[in-house]
Amino acid sequence: MSRKIKVALAGAGAFGMKHLDGIRNIADVEVVSLVGRELDRTREAAAKYGVPHVATDLAESLKQDVDAVILCTPTQMHATQAMECLRAGKHVQVEIPLADSLKDAQAVAALQKQTGLVAMCGHTRRFNPSHQYVHKRVAAGEFHVQQMDVQTYFFRRTNINALGQPRSWTDHLLWHHAAHTVDLFAYQAGSPIVECHGVQGPKHPTLGIAMDMGILLKAANGAICTLSLSFNNDGPLGTFFRYIGDSATYIARYDDLYNGKDEKIDVSKVDVSMNGIELQDREFFAAIREGREPNASVAQVLPCYEILDQLERKMS
């Protein structure tokens, strides 16, 4: 494909804006349709980013002249909408998680294989420069993960998004936030996960979800991962990673990377941007142009959802 890629973006919330900001920096890509739940807010966002078409229904957007769709909609809609896009002949990138059940994740993967279209999931940690730096050392044989210790901490006792705005749906520690680390661990260890264990705390009386969770993973090559997650943490927020390996220790805090002595490592030259969402989108569009499977394709990340399914069964 040599012409400009025309994109529809569904979900005019916090993460939709992150994608719109990233796409501004990518040549020969144009967002031509924006889908949102509230028409007035969607029109306002479209005006800000110069998007000519707005809709409250994805089906209406799919009727436009678009090549690809990015889905930043509520988790519970991801699988159904991803398949709707594929059936309409559109390449699709769905924000993490691909689905909130293994059955739905498998259905998306099967349809992608049938259509041959590019279908990718937003497992952003694969693209963050800090984690790319570690992965490049793993790929070069210079570093082997022996243990990952990961903390994912938020304060979300009410339904709010990353901008502090009310949400119309409920987020999930396992199917959303644990998905980042489960996938990243197998990716960085270079080995499939063969053992998993999990425990969860009490469920919130109104949200109906576990607010605290602990997960232990083991890869086929012997590497292990411990993951702690909480929506109850009233303190430093976000996800913090410690890589313990055979030749070094690395600590990733957001986009910053440190060694075991807490000395900062320059990752500014790892890729063309420090913005993981932008890099994720660049991979999506490059795969479309080159007619290839993208990094974080639905096929590549499906094993993550198999592990999440096992964990859910063990913790239920």
Residue 199 sits in a domain of what CATH number? Answer: 3.30.360.10
Host H or E run for residue 302: helix 298-315
* Higher per-residue pLDDT: 207 or 271: 271
DSSP state of 160: B
Residue 202 lies in a domain: yes
Q: Are residues 64 and 172 in the same domain?
A: no
Q: Are residues 283 and 149 in the same domain?
A: no
pLDDT tier at 207 (50, 70, 90 boundaries)?
confident
- Give dist(CA 308, CA 198) in Å, integer: 10
Residue 308 lies in a domain: no
Q: Are residues 157 and 58 in the same domain?
A: no
Strand order in the sheet with 68-71: 53-55, 29-35, 5-10, 68-71, 91-95, 119-122
Average pLDDT along the chain: 94
Q: Are residues 118 and 139 in the same domain?
A: no
Residue 301 lies in a domain: no
Summarised one tens digit per residue, pLDDT across range 20-38 is: 999 999 999 999 999 999 9
Summarised one tens digit per residue, pLDDT across range 123-168 is: 999 999 999 999 999 999 999 999 999 999 988 776 665 556 665 6
What pLDDT is attached to residue 235? 87
Helices and strands in the chain, H and E counts: 9, 14
Q: Which two tokens stand for residue 100?
A: 């909130």
Which amino acid, one-letter code, is at 165? Q
Do 159 and 153 touch, CB atoms closer than 8 A?
no
Query: pTM, whole model, 2 decimals?
Result: 0.94
Summarised one tens digit per residue, pLDDT across range 64-97 is: 999 999 999 999 999 999 999 999 999 999 999 9
Q: What is the CATH number of the domain that holds 119?
A: 3.40.50.720
The percentage of residues in the chain with a pLDDT greater than 70, rounded to a whole number, is 95
Q: Are residues 255 and 177 in the same domain?
A: yes
Q: Are residues 152 and 284 in the same domain?
A: no
Q: Are residues 106 and 141 in the same domain?
A: no
Do 125 and 135 touch, CB atoms closer than 8 A?
no
Closest CA to 209 of 243, 178, 163: 178
Q: Which two tokens stand for residue 13?
A: 């919330």
Q: Are residues 238 and 168 in the same domain?
A: yes
Which amino acid, one-letter code, is at 23? I
Domain count, the chain: 2
What pLDDT is attached to residue 169? 57
Residue 41 lies in a domain: yes
pLDDT tier at 205 (50, 70, 90 boundaries)?
confident
Is residue 239's pLDDT more than 60?
Answer: yes
Q: Are residues 28 and 112 in the same domain?
A: yes
What range does the domain containing 35 cover?
5-124+276-295
Q: Are residues 23 and 136 in the same domain?
A: no
